[in-house]
Structure 1
Amino acid sequence: MRWLRRHRVAAGIVAMVLVVLGGGGYVFWTSATGRAGEAVSAMPGDLLFIDQSDGRDVVQRVPLADPGGPRQDTAERCQRVYAAGGTTVCLRLAGPGPSYEVAVLGADGRVLRTLGLAGIPNRARVSASGQVVSWTSFVTGDSYAVPGGFSTRTGVLDLRTGTLIESLEDFSTTVAGEPLLAADRNYWGVTVAADDRTFYATVSSQNRTWLVKGDLLDRTMREVRPGPECPSLSPDGTKVAYKKRLGRFGQWELAVLDLTTRHEQVLPGTVGIDDQAAWLDDTRLAYAQVPGDGRKSSVFAVRADGSAPPELLVADASSPVPMR
């Protein structure tokens, strides 16, 4: 009987702990996904970004002409955000656990569609027209190469037709003239051209990566060159920026490839970047970087021709988006 009483007491304590933890998780989720005060719409000429100063992941805006000026909250909280052509994609918390979702918002801020996200938010993009939305997440326990490791999952949504591509792994990929069929292939970092059909992305397999050019209608991809990751097309479609490693196992740095001349320009001062850069215009790029000295991520701007080192654009921020 004494053992039974002790067992009941222990069970009661465990139950109370679970209730407290569950309630705490619910409070955390609801506070993290609640509206961030007054809704302030971003306007052309603004820079949109995620505030990193307090852990709430509030999407903020600031005039690009005065990035050091007062920052204003929008109504969204996201782990990754991008906007173009009146469409915004927000990778955000969807519930305790935590679980995540892709939220696609229209120009008026209303949610057009939500989709469950397979893993942890990583990359997000919207085509210039606002019609094609893409995203990438890290998925744990889904690696063929390392049991219990992680892989990437990349999806694409065409708002014109409602067509959902749940994974680029269903596409046919050609590398060095041969079909890439390895089970460990991963795709991430999509950027879509002005025709809303052509795109660039990263594919990896057997510890190698390639920049690939794809066709969303034919569902095909082919190698452009080895090494680049997280591509970003310039607004005029003539250049693609990406991160690449210094040596096989070195740090990443930012580079720009001229798609006509095939000249690659490495951008000085960008060593350590781990982001999909965004074009502020046809001559400048913005990206987030963690300094590595205990400070939080900040957004930097750099000239695409490599003529000057990066400059701090917005402190304690990530996921920069120029509003055009």
Structure 2
Amino acid sequence: MNTKLLYVLVSDESDIYLEQASVSMFSARLHNPQIHITLLMDDLTDKNLIGQRRELLKPVSEKIVISLDAKYTNKERSRILKTGARLYVHGDFLFIDCDTIVAAPLDDIDTNPIDLGAVMDCHTTLTHNPYRNMIFRHAQSINNVLCENEPYFNSGIILVRDIEANHIFYERWQTNWKKGLAGGVSMDQPSFSQTNKELNYPIQEISGIWNCQIRHGMKYWNIAKIIHYLCTNGSSGENALYFWMQKCVYQQIKKSGISDDLIPKIQYPFEQLCSCVNVENAQSLPFHSTSCYKTSFFLYKEHPYLFHLESVILKIMKKVARYAKV
């Protein structure tokens, strides 16, 4: 495989990003023994990689350290490296977020004819995207006018050839991200979309198997090459949808590394869903991103008496709505 696998890491002892990255890199090496793994990090992260933390980097082939202004937070430092990756790394690469599991050989990415590729966010159009309202709100904040029919890509896995056009794309992406940050938008995906539009849509769609977003990619589940479990979304405790979404697992790795009992869970990633999974379609899924759902679920878990009261009120409202309709 000639295409590098690229990770960006900004981490310290207080988070689990290093541990997530180590699991993803371990899975990549397991299924692709000859793969070249490049780790792009900032200078502060490099300084704290001592002892057990350094041991977690064994799968890495190449380390690139970039010095950044100390004024930036860890989140901002991570975004600076991600949006500037093409400027720091030589050769073709497949960028991959840390909250991923590589589930299969990746070598056929070398023959993919696309120069700049990504998977649709949530594997669907903006019209059916469950985070549609948030996406449009962020776009408005950075003066990016989105249309319902234009492509909106997930920036968690990106195929990037080493060509001049992609250097231009990344320079613009980083500039747009910094402008967005000044306006209160720290996420990199809104500026990813903005840059795509400004440069006349150079991003082409690649198959969902390269970025199977676990909550929305069931269509690709049994054929996925990379599982993107999106650890920041949904429950991450013992009731997590996916084994690798549990933060306690990474706390264990922080203490003792990737132990023998975890290796089968990396080796057989499709078997790590929780025992009871509910599959929903595009019609009902957007409701899960509303404040109504989030509030109700919070009351259901934390305040059952208030949830019961809410249920009574909603039943009354339903009867009134039916009566009014008649």
Give TM-score scaled by structure 2 length.
Answer: 0.26
Give the strand-richer structure, 1 or 2: 1
Say which structure, 1 or 2, has more relative contact order (CA 8 Å, 6+ apart): 2
The structure whose residues are more often helix, as a share, is 2
Q: TM-score w.r.t. structure 1 length?
A: 0.26
